[in-house]
Structure 1
Amino acid sequence: MASYAQYIISSGWSFKDSEDQSPEAWLPVSTVPSVVQQDLQANGKLKDPFIGFNELSARWVNEKSWTYRNVFQKPTIPAGSSIFIVFDGLDTFAKVKLDGRVILESDNMFLAHRVDVTEALDTEGDHTIEIEFDCALLRARELRNQYPDHEWVGFNGDPARLSVRKAQYHWGWDWGPVLMTAGIWKEVRLEVYSTRISDLWTEVDLDDGHSNAHITATAEVETSDTNNSYTATFTLSLQGQEIGTEVVSLEGDVAKTTFDVQDPSLWWPNGYGDQTLYDISVSLKRDEGQIHQVAKKFGIRTAEVIQQPDKHGKSFFFRINGVDIFCGGACWIPADSLLTNITSDRYRKWIELMAAGHQVMIRVWGGGIYEDESFYQACDEVGIMVWQDFMFGCGNYPTWPELLESIEKEAEYNLRRLRHHPSIVIWVGNNEDYQVQEQRGLTYNYEDKDPDSWLKTDFPARYIYEHILPRAVKKIIPSIYYHPGSPWGDGKITSDPTVGDMHQWNVWHGTQEKYQIFDTLGGRFNSEFGMEAFPHIATIDHFVENEADKYPQSHVLDFHNKADGHERRIATYLVENLRTATDLETYVYLTQVVQAETMMFGYRGWRRQWGDERHCGGALLWQLNDCWPTISWAIVDYFLRPKPAFYAVSRVLKPVAIGVRREHHDWSVSHAVPPKASKYELWVVSSLRKEQTGQVELRFISIKTGLEIREAVVHEDVTIAPNGTTNILDGVIDNEVDEPHVLAARVWIGGELVARDVDWPQPFKYLDLSDRGLVVTTISDVEDEQILELRTSKPVKCLVFEERENVRVSDSAIDIVPGDDQFVTVKGLKPGDAPLKYKFLGQ
């Protein structure tokens, strides 16, 4: 009996401009998957669009159609078998011809395709496959013109993008270039079989006490064999040890069995327990011969979104395995404008960086892609929960019948593809489409529950988010929570802070509030907020070619910042808070200080609110990463170099963190008249599941002299509440008596110093931070690991270490006070390497 076989078609491809009919037009393709910009670069026909102004000289590519070709030999076909050609992803308008005959036409980047080519490959020898990729930019505009009655409105990019099922950020966004890719962006292969396992999944029922997990394993089988006498052998194992095996016969095209696992090892988010993954495999056999085998990993866990009335409105937080989780994390955009640049290793490094920074959730944003399998595998293995948007972003999407049909197929395909990943804990209908509805005054009557009537309004996209997508989720993954949009809450205005999730952009965008009050602006779950900062100078050196352009407001630097009004917004937050600079390195650093402080103020306050009846259920900053070397809201740049904000967030999200803060005094409104007195508060937050006993200290240290201006407050045997907030004390600073000073807080548990926080008078521009007496000493240097001791005689603000390729520091963006030496581990420096440079405020 013939078994399943596959042949990957990755080499032997060539491509050309579809309009060029000359024989020499064909150019070699080094490997597939690829996109046309990469192949043009490899052939010397295009400069790197990430450098300088090259994006502009690459835009001609966006308006072309492209053809890819491969000549391959028919594989050996056992008797009774069929040949299928499989495309995991074609970007985007693709017409596939085999030996000149059209076998497939696709217009959705997010779908895979499988075509039976047995008859087409009837003859032996060479066969030619050609894929014509029509220009998505021009096709989108044609589609828009075909439907003039639709309200083509949205944020970012050409509104015509709404008509095309392609990654929306390719049209350009306020952090990314206009690079309209085309090509074979995922694997192509031939599959030869008469019977195969087409899908395998598990459904897990975990009892309330977590003592028993009832696991239902299901395999779908595709066969052309009329003699359907197959058996399916299911095997459940953990870390190579077999737990159980069941042999079952097929019922129609489905095989199903159940396993009961006593005292299962659960899958937990980062910091809460192990990320245990079980293996489920199924082997299809007949007459003792194995036909096909498929295996997947899955986790045993429960995931709930808790929405219940409370004193703040209606909660919105995640509960995993019965434990409430404060979801500190970030939003994710595609890690490259040219998607086939992203390797599994690069995905892994991003996710491991999140875990090292104490983050527990990533939000896959709806203007990109349903990510690669290796992204979700990394999240499973590292313990990063995934908030997964469907791919709709910032627009009023049209709903003609063919498009709705394609969207439904897209949703069901990706739900099936990803349903085994325990890291995915929520599916969400779109990004900010309900905000477009509000801002453009489109019709949305939440009380109208008739889906057909929604299609007749000027906001027909509601039909997608509240009918098609929830129906698909219920059909494919009935156990997971579906949320219609982000932000969204029970049909109320999306800025309502009492319900659902919120995108809070009144710092940076909107009313441009002071970042010091960020925590007062939040809602029940803050799924977007941010502050821009320049990347490190090494990243700027990569894309700025001329030394003469390396000044803060140079043309090329502005070109690499796609945010509307970024000049005035950056300038506002800099001039309000810091003494400005004209040299580029200092300017870069100052923008990073502002971003780090902004993120700290937001996360610190919102995490404190977690302990107040889950007032804030989580905070996902915009954004973790970049898709090209740029200036943006990312806290880690395109080259995986963390900005200071990454470290500031990491400290606030530690399992136990301490917070100290004096009340905000708006110096702009008071015309810089200082307050006579300032209240302050001190608290400890914990994500630990058990009560702790600790020691808490608060010191009052002069910024000018480094001496303590009053006796420290020390609380012994403080009971620290589990998974919540413990308020320690509040007090008053007499600004007419006390000289400018920092409040330096520390907490010990079991004799170990576990967290620090330092509160400074605001704004920094009024402070003299020169002559700090900082000493950085290498106290250990073994192999590729150094330990640095940081000591100071006066308070130091935001000590930032240089970020170097393949070098990692354990901490950065550090505040240091006298009498509290800190230690930083540096990994990756080799003998003879220069020590890392560093900067601090007022240096």
Structure 2
Amino acid sequence: MRSVTLNGNWMMKRTDEAEWNEAIVPGSVFHDLMSAGKMEDPYFRDNEFDILELTKFDYEYRRSVLVDEDLLLMDRVLLRCEGLDTLCEVYVNGQAVLNTDNMHRTYEADVKRLLSAGRNEIHVIIRSATNFVIAKDKEHHLTSCADAVPGISHLRKAHSMFGWDWGPQLPDMGIWRDISLRGFNIGRIDDIYITQKHGDNLVTVEIAADLQRWTSDVPLALQAAIGTPDGRTLKASVRQVSDTAKLVIDIPNPELWWPNNLGSQPLYAVLVQLLNGEQVLDERSLNIGLRTLRVVRQPDEWGESFAFEVNGHEIFAMGANFIPEDNIFGRRSNERTEQLIRSCVEANYNCIRVWGGGYYADDYFYDLCDRHGLIVWQDHLYACGAYDFNDEFKENIRLETIDNMKRIRHHASLGIWSGNNELEYAWAYWGWTERYGEKQRDDYLKQFEQFLPVLSRSLDPNTSYLVSSPSSKGGIEDPNNENIGDMHYWDVWHGRKPITEYRTLHPRFMSEFGLQSFPSIKTVETFTLPEDRNIFSRVMEAHQKNGTGNEKIMYYISEYFKYPRNFETLLYVSQLIQAEGMRVGIEHWRRNRGRCMGAVYWQLNDIWPGASWSSLDYFGRWKATHHAAKRFFAPVLASALEEGTTVALHVTNETRRVVRGQLRWRLLDRSSEVIQTGEAEVSLGAFSSEEIVSLDFSGTLTTKEQLSQSYLTFEFVSFGKTVSAGTALFVKPKHFELLNPEISAAVTEEDDRFVVTLESRSFAPFVLLELSRADARWSDNVFALSADQPAVVNVPKNGLSEPLSLEAFREQLSVTSLYDTFE
């Protein structure tokens, strides 16, 4: 096989204009127009609304490629397009070869007869997706996200590009993945499917290959080699193959793949080659992890379980929902994705859900999840809308599903396929049958309960499948049932219920829940002018896509915190209520481990800068929630369930070993003077949670003043090291009578880090460390500080966005606590 890349430099323009502009492929129209100075940044202020109009034009790309005689002598020369977004006409030397309508598919065309030795022209015309969906919606209305351009269910393009309740209406377009010419002789490997059979200190790997042949009378052989982490190479071969072949390789003493914090992630390199004698005609290489991974669903005392089981152990899944990383596809990069996944790992995730309103992620995303131990919950790409399940649409999504399941299914990290996001929920609870009719409801059942499950199981029988998220037993029958299946819960936020409402729920697996917050002032400054920096300004409201979202943020702030003193502290306090909400829910569900076996919050990341449910903002900056996640997702967690003057202290162990240590607690006044202390010995089995001690302070905290001036600290200590710690109040934070903590920060420098030592004169909750210009990775942040216990925070130099001297670090450092956020 020969491959000639068509990535790199192209020319592009609007079809109704004469001037060509330089372009980069893979990339996008928006990115190329911005690079050419033909478009303003759509994220700045409210430019979005003007730039949406640019999506109503058509665009074209062209480039030439040199082709040599050797390529033309091959049996087949295919033009391979791995990502065309979306309504594209592709020409080779003026001849039409492709007409595409699905950005999620890989398209191929045999172009050998159209090529000649020397220079050849590739030309791609991209028609307006915005015009297409608007026209289709007028012909046949299909409901979809209310915040999007209407008609998006008619087109197989990432729905969120057209707008969502956290993202703008900016449907970019372009050649967004690799494009190449590929030459083959005699035949090629069409597909590889790998099955593992685990035995006693042995894993048998079965490699099933589907082959495509153009010459039947030439003998072909297939061979496979597996490179082990310890340097061995294990081989198998078949000398005579037809259209299919199977190879079997035994791996003795296998090194098992584990999710993050449960073990290592060794990967085995698989190379499969199609041979004609000694000549390699084609080859496939991929990495696999040896593990068993399934979703266990079986009847129990509460209903039916829903838990990932890895290598025989049921684990509690911890993570968040991943959305597209940018509305401008040309800005996407491996570096950004790696930064995002590393942030997940640092925050102790073991799971990530790829949400169904975006796109199937790039190969590199899944590679990173393999390397770092993040179980992938993969939605098929349907969300919050109805679809016309006609024959043309059915065939289109059949090919889309085949392309992507074959591409993704070998990954060690893949844990479950899900049919869609919230469609069964909508048909069950949103009155869709009455509004849109039985035909569309029946189309839903045909597509998502018959066609896709059968197709998906035929393509990947080894991976668990869920018909929708959330879903209990399917059939549009109470899909958000707390006792069966997974659950989405939005009464906290949309229903304005208090964050403590999470503690009334005992889902089997909570796969969506969340609260909004604003990004930091550094991020807000990138899209505003000074006069815009009021959350009810035109610009700030333009960057809030959830209708009354800013009002809801203020409502939740008012419930728990005092009115912020200025715009900047308001941004920070919004992050605190989000972090507290996620902590309250997740700690509760982890305390109820066994009944609940997963907490995946909404959402991980942002598609543009603005208010949203994310814990990482558009630039990858950690909000308060992400710092909190590092603690509430810790493998061993100490947590408190406070009610009035009683506090139950729990320890949760999400590891494969027994943990032993001491659970220590202290009741302190606001000056951090000790009122009471205690300690309990802990010996807790693997994968378990237990209440360790129940405290009753009704005889000690007898007045309003004592309740509003006292707090509880607790820590789980194992072998002299604090493993997990926390704080509990007896009143809402806004009613706690704080003293000025007068926090001091001393900064020293070591070879590879800066070390910040913090001391306070009194209790200081929610202590935030920031640098005014640079970004940093902090070993801890947004934490409580007691007067008698200094905190030490490490800042690795390789985690800084720019090199800093000790003097510059000190100059940029600021320290904020809750006391500083109000007058």
Q: CA distance change for structure 1 residues 302 and 229 in 2, over 3 Å: closer, same or farther?
A: same
Question: 2:3 aligned to 1, 6, 27, which one?
Answer: 6
Aligned to 2:16: 19
Contact 1:155-1:394 within 8 A present in 2 as well: no
Contact 1:635-1:642 within 8 A present in 2 as well: yes
Aligned to 1:791: 759
Q: CA distance change for structure 1 residues 144 and 249 in 2, over 3 Å: closer, same or farther?
A: farther
Question: 2:173 aligned to 179, 182, 186, which one?
Answer: 182
Contact 1:799-1:839 within 8 A present in 2 as well: yes
Aligned to 2:596: 616
Amino acid aligned to 1:559: A
State whether structure 2 residue 201 is matched by structure 1 residue 198.
no
CA distance in 2, matches of 1:329, 1:768: 34
Contact 1:551-1:583 within 8 A present in 2 as well: no
Contact 1:552-1:583 within 8 A present in 2 as well: no
Contact 1:153-1:436 within 8 A present in 2 as well: no
CA distance in 2, matches of 1:752, 1:320: 29
CA distance in 2, matches of 1:839, 1:327: 33
The TM-score with structure 2 as length reference comes to 0.94
The C-alpha deviation readout for 1:198-241, integer Å capped at 9, x for no partner, is: 3333211113x5x2211001333333233331222211111372
Q: CA distance change for structure 1 residues 551 and 153 in 2, over 3 Å: closer, same or farther?
A: closer
State whether structure 2 residue 354 is matched by structure 1 residue 364.
yes
- TM-aligned CA deviation for residue 96 of structure 1: 1.4
Aligned to 1:580: 563
Question: 1:294 aligned to 284, 307, 312, which one?
Answer: 284
- TM-aligned CA deviation for residue 155 of structure 1: 4.3
Amino acid aligned to 1:751: G
The C-alpha deviation readout for 1:480-530, integer Å capped at 9, x for no partner, is: 1000111111133233211111111111112x1111332323511111111
CA distance in 2, matches of 1:275, 1:155: 42
Question: 1:726 aligned to 690, 713, 728, which one?
Answer: 690
- TM-aligned CA deviation for residue 773 of structure 1: 4.1
Aligned to 1:781: 749
Aligned to 1:88: 82
State whether structure 2 residue 83 is matched by structure 1 residue 106.
no
CA distance in 2, matches of 1:155, 1:615: 35
Aligned to 1:758: 727
CA distance in 2, matches of 1:410, 1:455: 26
Aligned to 1:500: 485
Aligned to 2:526: 542
Q: CA distance change for structure 1 residues 155 and 438 in 2, over 3 Å: closer, same or farther?
A: farther
Contact 1:502-1:522 within 8 A present in 2 as well: no
CA distance in 1, matches of 2:38, 2:137: 31
Aligned to 1:686: 653
The C-alpha deviation readout for 1:92-116, integer Å capped at 9, x for no partner, is: 1111122322211111110001110
Q: Equivalent residues in 2 for 1:649-664 (5 A)?
A: 649-663=629-643
Please state whether the residue corresponding to 1:654 is helix, strand or coil. coil
Aligned to 2:419: 429
CA distance in 1, matches of 2:219, 2:105: 32
Aligned to 1:319: 309
Q: Equivalent residues in 2 for 1:34-45 (5 A)?
A: 34-45=27-38
Aligned to 1:253: 243
Aligned to 1:802: 770
Please state whether the residue corresponding to 2:176 is helix, strand or coil. coil
Please state whether the residue corresponding to 1:86 is helix, strand or coil. strand
- TM-aligned CA deviation for residue 127 of structure 1: 2.7
Q: CA distance change for structure 1 residues 455 and 767 in 2, over 3 Å: closer, same or farther?
A: closer
Aligned to 1:671: none
Amino acid aligned to 1:142: A
Q: Equivalent residues in 2 for 1:469-548 (5 A)?
A: 469-491=452-474, 492-510=477-495, 512-544=496-528, 546-548=529-531
CA distance in 2, matches of 1:774, 1:80: 73
CA distance in 1, matches of 2:442, 2:758: 58
Unaligned runs of 5+ in 2: none
CA distance in 2, matches of 1:146, 1:534: 39
Please state whether the residue corresponding to 1:119 is helix, strand or coil. helix
Identity of matched residues, %: 29
Question: 1:706 aligned to 672, 680, 703, which one?
Answer: 672
CA distance in 2, matches of 1:482, 1:578: 43
The C-alpha deviation readout for 1:738-795, integer Å capped at 9, x for no partner, is: 44311111111122221111001332111222312433323x4113402222333322
Amino acid aligned to 2:674: E
Contact 1:266-1:299 within 8 A present in 2 as well: yes
Question: 2:158 aligned to 152, 164, 167, which one?
Answer: 167
Aligned to 1:280: 270
Aligned to 1:672: none
Amino acid aligned to 2:679: V
CA distance in 1, matches of 2:567, 2:140: 49
Q: CA distance change for structure 1 residues 789 and 582 in 2, over 3 Å: closer, same or farther?
A: closer
The C-alpha deviation readout for 1:129-179, integer Å capped at 9, x for no partner, is: 22221111221233334446xx53554313410111000001101111111
Aligned to 1:638: 618
Contact 2:509-2:597 within 8 A present in 1 as well: yes
Q: Once structures 1 and 2 are overlaid, which stretch shifts more, 747-756 or 243-252?
A: 243-252
CA distance in 1, matches of 2:569, 2:761: 23
The TM-score with structure 1 as length reference comes to 0.92
Q: CA distance change for structure 1 residues 8 and 370 in 2, over 3 Å: closer, same or farther?
A: same
Amino acid aligned to 1:117: V
State whether structure 2 residue 806 is matched by structure 1 residue 840.
no
- TM-aligned CA deviation for residue 459 of structure 1: 4.3
CA distance in 2, matches of 1:11, 1:386: 31
CA distance in 2, matches of 1:146, 1:637: 38
Please state whether the residue corresponding to 2:615 is helix, strand or coil. coil
RMSD across aligned positions (CA): 1.9
Please state whether the residue corresponding to 2:53 is helix, strand or coil. helix
Amino acid aligned to 2:49: L
CA distance in 2, matches of 1:309, 1:774: 53
CA distance in 1, matches of 2:455, 2:147: 28
Aligned to 1:407: 397
Please state whether the residue corresponding to 1:438 is helix, strand or coil. helix
State whether structure 2 residue 119 is matched by structure 1 residue 141.
no
CA distance in 2, matches of 1:326, 1:646: 18
CA distance in 2, matches of 1:282, 1:757: 52
Contact 2:68-2:118 within 8 A present in 1 as well: no
Amino acid aligned to 2:274: L
- TM-aligned CA deviation for residue 725 of structure 1: 0.9
State whether structure 2 residue 51 is matched by structure 1 residue 58.
yes
Please state whether the residue corresponding to 1:833 is helix, strand or coil. helix
Question: 2:539 aligned to 552, 556, 560, which one?
Answer: 556
Q: Equivalent residues in 2 for 1:388-399 (5 A)?
A: 388-399=378-389
Contact 2:506-2:592 within 8 A present in 1 as well: no
State whether structure 2 residue 564 is matched by structure 1 residue 570.
no
Q: Count residues with an aligned counterpart.
A: 800
Q: Once structures 1 and 2 are overlaid, which stretch shifts more, 561-570 or 785-794?
A: 785-794
Aligned to 1:736: 702
Aligned to 2:781: 812
Contact 2:30-2:330 within 8 A present in 1 as well: no
The C-alpha deviation readout for 1:700-746, integer Å capped at 9, x for no partner, is: 1112x32122x21211x322232111211223232425443111111
Amino acid aligned to 1:46: M
Contact 1:90-1:185 within 8 A present in 2 as well: yes
CA distance in 1, matches of 2:603, 2:576: 17
Contact 1:12-1:71 within 8 A present in 2 as well: no
Contact 2:621-2:775 within 8 A present in 1 as well: no
Aligned to 2:322: 332
- TM-aligned CA deviation for residue 384 of structure 1: 0.7
Contact 2:672-2:788 within 8 A present in 1 as well: no
